[in-house]
Amino acid sequence: MPEPRYQRRKEDRPQEITDAALAAFAENGYAGTKVDDVAKRAGVSKGLLYLYFKTKEELFKAVIRSFVVPRIDALVAGVQTTDLSAEEILRGPLLKLMKSLPGSPVGVVVRLMISEGAKHPDLVTYYKDNVVSRGMDALRTTIERGVQNGEFRPTVVSELPQLLIMPAFFSVVFTLVFGPQSLDTDKLIETHIDIVIHYLKKNEGTAV
């Protein structure tokens, strides 16, 4: 009787299943994904999958949650603990983060939110509270810190932190729909950050 090479540990199961589900959703969307297929990808029987997630919708929600929250946590923590100047944050870690989004699993989650959001209001609420709000807060905090220490002049941008991540969002979706070659996303994001910083710093040094 051959014993399994690696005894699967129960604790990893949910994670393995949501990973498989994300991959499946990425390829076929929510409606287009069969629970059977997710189970097969996860190397698990359908019955077991239903032991962990009571419905397909529940699985969907778990996927959404498990993929975005950690990233947002990292972003918020990073902004709070850094000793970089505001501009350095924007041109450094934020720029890097934004460039990494197109083509990443985040893109998949974004697409799912767009296409399925209307049917899952509680998920939208969750996403708004735990992702969008916290992300926007982190951005707003950064900008206001810049204003307070004289890097930036006061502008309406403080109230519209969306302005900063727009190109990342745009790139994510554009890449998703039209393919990776269809847009130079790095350049778009860099240029946009540059433009906004110019605006935030305007008249700097215009003397007199």
Partner DNA sequence: AATGAATGAGTATTCATTCAT
Partner DNA sequence: CATGAATGAATACTCATTCAT
For residue 110, the minimal CB distance to a copy of itself (Å) is: 9
Q: Of the two residues 107 and 142, which places its CB atom closer to a copy of itself in the complex? A: 107
Say whether residue 35 binds DNA (CB under 7 A). yes
Q: Of the two residues 46 and 134, which places its CB atom closer to DNA in the complex? A: 46
Are the C-beta atoms of 85 and 149 separated by less than 8 Å? Answer: yes
Say whether residue 204 binds a copy of itself (CB under 8 A). no
Q: What span, in angstroms and rounded, lies between the C-alpha atoms of 99 and 96? A: 5
Say whether residue 114 binds DNA (CB under 7 A). no
Q: What span, in angstroms and rounded, lies between the C-alpha atoms of 143 and 157? A: 8
Say whether residue 176 binds a copy of itself (CB under 8 A). yes
Q: Of the two residues 142 and 167, which places its CB atom closer to a copy of itself in the complex? A: 167
Dihedral sign for Cα atoms in the order 65, 66, 67, 70: positive
Q: What span, in angstroms and rounded, lies between the C-alpha atoms of 90 and 104? A: 20
Q: Which stretch binds a copy of itself (CB under 8 A): 22-30, 48-56, 72-80, 95-103?
A: 22-30
**What interhelical angle do 185-201 and 162-178 show, nearest 10?**
170
Applying CB under 7 A, among 29, 56, 166, 176 the residue interacting with DNA is 56
Q: Of the two residues 123 and 200, which places its CB atom closer to DNA in the complex? A: 123
Number of residues that bind a copy of itself (CB under 8 A): 43
**With b meaning 16 or more CB within 10 Å and e meaning fewer, what string describes 71-100?**
bbeebeebbeeeeeebbebbbebbbebbbe
Say whether residue 118 binds DNA (CB under 7 A). no
The maximal CA–CA distance of the chain, rounded, in angstroms, is 87
Q: Which residues of this chain interact with DNA, rule CB under 7 A?
A: 4-10, 13, 32-36, 44-48, 50-51, 54-57
